[in-house]
Structure 1
């Protein structure tokens, strides 16, 4: 009973050995991450089309709930760029930005996303995320980064442009060029340049000047805070809001409120599919970051429990004025590098953000939205990896096609179409690759008991024997391919008396493939050719023995390919291939 509770509520496990040293490290990490998250949370709420305080609210209770139910020691949960963009795209279809209905729809989206994640965790369906291939994910994130950066240009220029796709955004920006506020441009471009400089050059500069590593790291992470403070003071001191510079304005000075998502059938129906897509994308991003960081400390995470942890975080966001959240790459890496040892670091971060929500929100009244836009642009451009196109082109044309299609569809038709197409392309890519499995004709390496591809190695062969190594599990997509290949090979060589299928790489044979094997067996039997199997794995053999196939087999099942070779080859007929 206790072990079960610890497995499903990980805080009961790691808290037993919590030490003073761990507390100290977690507190330091929390301070650094809190400094980073205050401007970032405000910015991502802007990206999602929500009031800035929603970003803070989404970063408080969800972090605490993940600390209780999550298994990663370093993952930092909260609003992230891609999920914020997906939220804006989904909610914008059912409500107008700035209305109460828009905020309720965002709460509903978080609730549905959290519920779906929890269900996946309860039924241990974390493996479903594997249907998104890494190249497709990279393509989608790259396209999303470009879209997000483009969508923030209107705030940098101070114009009222719109659009959900790259062509729409660019056309709208051009149409509103006459509205450009040059003071806003100076603030936005200056803040963007400053943040890029801070990210790349501030830490090395401070280290050269003799600053301790920890201090240099904190000051670098505080770069966005410096931009916020500097531009806010400039707007206030020079009364720039009166000269057309857009500012954040009033932000409620309070802890996260108790909120209720809307559960009307129409609203749920409209947001269900986007919620599922957001859940899958958020989980893939989160679990990949968590696994990477856990591996560095020889720790492990439980993907199915991660689903429950992220689901609880999203449900918490739905009832505390937030919107969908997940584990963020940048904040998690910062948390890890700052020395976080347990999820308590996240809970301490939540306390820091709660203090900010109560005490610091009046200070951001004159914060220009151009500065928040600059924060978003600098953050998301690090996600853009156009080199993935060249890498996949050099390695696999099929993967290149998938990446290119995902990028183009996301930029041209929007993020929801991009996500859906990414999932579809991933599945189709898998089906395509496995529909034509690699089947090698093998021969004996002279002087050994090993068998290798006759087209790659100098091996011994027998014209009366065809040995085929099947390098893929057999199922409905590729079963007919093997059937046709064997038929073609046997009819090409009139002296063939036996065919051996080497099953060392076959992990599964489904019913469609079984029927194909039976058809191959009957056809070869009619032709006077024996069909044999070798090196069949135990689970596959167990399955085959439950059918009529083994009893009707026109040949034998050999423990090894060498055993088949010794029994079926004819002395004096062997030859060596070049």
Structure 2
């Protein structure tokens, strides 16, 4: 069936547009009168309005109005900063029982993991335990997630040690190394608070999902290779993190001196932990077995070393772990030193990585329990807890996926489980640290190794290859950069590939020729929907990009001109569907103006349908609307097509 255009301007017995005299202003279809809504609307909010809006959202509570009293307003702000003031009202004994069991189970996993992650961060064991005390307590009163478990994690521990030791070697100057760790932790908290208070959470998204998958996988392998030092009982090891340097160091050390007893202890308990985890996953009611496996491994291995005096036969042990809860580290934060800029760079990377992991973990479990996690409040909470942690001998803490899964499986109801865990770790710091003297280093290596498989997501890598090859390249670039270079190289490659993807997508001419679905006022791409039909003498084009700018404006203009010149005699009007164009820069304005003039030289009228608010305002300021003519701006593509079929140019347009 042949497609019939709108009735106006079409001969009743044919599908060709009727050859009528030039339409005057009064003959414009009445539908185009609605264009006044488009051209005479208010000015869009400017940059200053956007900035002040960010501040208002940051410091004013939602739902506040002029009828609020000061006390109500203050309480609302406090509830926004401290969510515990809101949910504490409904807390009961039943919830406490669940949180108590979850907290104790969580502590049994956190204590050995925290000690292991501290060694990964090149810090003394007690600093890992410190990090499992203050940050969880602060998060419990400021965070919005019910399930997330706070403490040190492997990725952040690796980030700190790999980047800070390039500035100062912890083996040469451990005191200054700790100062830099606390300074980085403080600045990390400041960055995280800023992200949340000023609604800058989108900055975290600069690290795409694909980049994070590759980074996590590469970091997991690097962390695993680093644990060979403890597993083999080596005294000397490389400070570099790339796979070649680590493999070379292991090869040299193995040929010189290593102690098989360390390997036996580490591998035996590594298999034990994996077996307990398998049982816990297979039998959901026995989840607690996998949770207590690490602390049980520490206890049994320590008892074995003490009973057999294995430390005198080559088995490396932790030796002294300082007792007592967190000491103040306020004076160790150095914001005036020579390396403040380097500390800020490291802190920014740690802030983004820690937030990415924490928000992803929190949202995963909040979706399961059917409540919404406020990402900006989470960032503020993470920032507060790291600032407080930096003042109390803690290093960067964030949400751990493995411990959060244990917390969830243990039946936690609120963030009180973090308080229970922190209290249990405090008791351990006061009473149990002397018992850790004979704990073998290899058992800490096995605990860290047992936590790494969850960081390598092969299934997701296969999915990326299947769905999006550019995302796969981002993933592999991040993975290989971390594995064969360093953490910074891996992140840089991931960001580089991600931005290259954005640039390539922007440069590509994102335009589609549209046709009308017969019998409707719906216009679709002729390539995607072959059944649609083009309107005779009218070339309808949709610009797909949301930002018409210097990157893509010229290529889009050239592609449109190319289509017109190929079939110059076939078109008398060109309609630009700009409903997808949210904004443009001066290059975009220039491209539209040049397009209008070139079409005019060819005797072709240009019309625009539904340009965005910012786009319309900028075209007004640039007087492009006056140049094209207000009557050639429409709210819908249908109105534009109807007008083009009705009106013909009165006089031949002068060529440029």
Distance (Å, rounded) in 2 between the aligned partners of 1:450 and 1:548: 31
2:99 matched residue in structure 1 = 26
Deviates more, 1:336-345 or 1:353-362: 336-345
Structure 1 residues 535, 19: closer, same or farther in 2, change over 3 A? same
Task: Name which of 363, 380, 402 aligns with 2:474.
Answer: 402
Larger Rg: 1 or 2? 2
Contact persistence 2:481–2:491 (CA under 8 A): no
Distance (Å, rounded) in 2 between the aligned partners of 1:274 and 1:420: 13
Deviation at 1:563, TM superposition (A): 2.6
Pairing of 1:159-558 with structure 2 (within 5 A) = 159=234, 160-162=236-238, 163-178=240-255, 179-204=257-282, 207=283, 214=285, 216-260=286-330, 261-436=333-508, 438-456=510-528, 457-476=530-549, 477-495=551-569, 496-538=571-613, 540-553=615-628, 556-558=632-634
Superposed CA RMSD in Å reads 2.0
Contact persistence 2:273–2:290 (CA under 8 A): no
Deviates more, 1:182-191 or 1:157-166: 157-166
What CA deviation, in whole Å up to 9, does each residue of 1:319-364 have, x standing for no partner? Answer: 1112111111111222223222222221221111111111111121
Distance (Å, rounded) in 1 between the aligned partners of 2:363 and 2:587: 36
What CA deviation, in whole Å up to 9, does each residue of 1:142-173 have, x standing for no partner? Answer: 11111111111121112232232111101111
Contact persistence 1:90–1:271 (CA under 8 A): no
SS in 2 for 1:417: helix
Deviation at 1:270, TM superposition (A): 2.5
Deviation at 1:71, TM superposition (A): 1.9
Contact persistence 2:121–2:157 (CA under 8 A): yes
Deviation at 1:569, TM superposition (A): 4.5
* 2:642 is the alignment partner of 1:566: yes
What CA deviation, in whole Å up to 9, does each residue of 1:345-402 have, x standing for no partner? Answer: 2122111111111111112111111111111111022101234443222222221221
Distance (Å, rounded) in 2 between the aligned partners of 1:503 and 1:21: 57
SS in 1 for 2:316: coil
Distance (Å, rounded) in 2 between the aligned partners of 1:454 and 1:203: 52
Deviation at 1:29, TM superposition (A): 1.5
Contact persistence 1:40–1:376 (CA under 8 A): yes
SS in 2 for 1:253: coil
2:651 matched residue in structure 1 = none
* 2:227 is the alignment partner of 1:152: yes
Distance (Å, rounded) in 1 between the aligned partners of 2:461 and 2:516: 40
SS in 2 for 1:324: coil
Contact persistence 1:507–1:540 (CA under 8 A): yes
Deviation at 1:481, TM superposition (A): 2.3
Deviation at 1:57, TM superposition (A): 0.2
Distance (Å, rounded) in 1 between the aligned partners of 2:371 and 2:594: 49
Structure 1 residues 295, 564: closer, same or farther in 2, change over 3 A? same
Gaps of 5+ in 2: 1-72, 648-656
Deviation at 1:546, TM superposition (A): 4.5
Structure 1 residues 437, 36: closer, same or farther in 2, change over 3 A? farther
Distance (Å, rounded) in 2 between the aligned partners of 1:240 and 1:433: 62
* TM-score with structure 2 setting the length: 0.82
SS in 2 for 1:194: helix
SS in 2 for 1:180: coil
1:5 matched residue in structure 2 = 78
2:20 matched residue in structure 1 = none
1:115 matched residue in structure 2 = 190
Deviates more, 1:176-185 or 1:510-519: 510-519
SS in 2 for 1:55: helix
Contact persistence 1:132–1:427 (CA under 8 A): no
Contact persistence 1:146–1:381 (CA under 8 A): no
Contact persistence 2:185–2:387 (CA under 8 A): yes
* TM-score with structure 1 setting the length: 0.93
